[in-house]
Amino acid sequence: MNTVEAVKTQGEAEVISRKLTANAKGNTLYADIWRFGINTALRISDLLSLTFEDVQGDKLTIREGKTGKTREIDLNSGAKGIVERRKAAHPAHQYLFEVESNRAKGKPVSRVAVANAFKAVGDEMSLHLGTHSMRKTRGWMMHNGGEPIEKICKMLNHSSPAVTMAYIGITQADIASTYHKYVF
């Protein structure tokens, strides 16, 4: 199995979002999941279990499936916009990312469906995309924006900065290149 990767530029993340919508014939479900996942850095299982009731104003309260911990997340304007748009478009839905088909009515979209949508776009772009790519992309963008690795580690709920560095794709080659970049 190939390891999925972080998307390293905002432009590339935008292209992925557009392709997810195009591949779904104009349905924004997968693009909204992609954008919301990058904005919140939630694990896919937590993301797909979100209900509109979990959002109160600018706050999202969630009990993480993996850790069992309750977290409160301040929603940024991008994430809040997705919630507002989806609520307006689907007022009868319970889940933020609910399926439209009669066969699965009243249920969130499946992890497999999301993984398949992401993989298809990744294949088009020669990227290894998967459901973890959203969290990895958020971590990478924060790192690239100058946020301390410890802050990113805390946000991703990792046990150590070393785990976070490996997770977001900081390689030994990246570290080695700094020896030539900073010369005294």
**What CATH number should be reported for the domain holding residue 32?**
1.10.443.10
Q: Does some domain include residue 1?
A: no
How much is the pLDDT for 47? 96
60-64, 99-103, 125-129: range with highest mean pLDDT: 125-129
Domain that holds residue 94: 10-175
Lowest mean pLDDT among 39-48, 101-110, 125-134: 101-110
- Closest by CA to 142, choosing from 18, 62, 17, 41, is 41
Give me the number of domains the chain comprises. Answer: 1
Phi, psi of 113 (to 5 degrees): -65, -40
Q: Is residue 183 assigned to a domain?
A: no
Does residue 2 fall inside a structural domain?
no
Considering the domain boundaries, does residue 51 fall inside one? yes
Answer whether residue 92 shows pLDDT above 80: yes
Q: Is the pTM of this model over 0.75?
A: yes
68: left (phi > 0), else alpha (psi -120 to 50), else beta?
left
Say if 155 falls within a structural domain.
yes
- Asked if residue 73 belongs to a domain, the reply is yes
Distance CA 89, CA 184 (A): 58
- Give the other-Cβ count within 10 Å of 4's Cβ: 21
Assigned domain for 48 exists: yes
The closest alpha carbon to 126, from 36, 10, 15, 44, belongs to 15
Question: Is residue 181, in this structure, part of any structural domain at all?
Answer: no
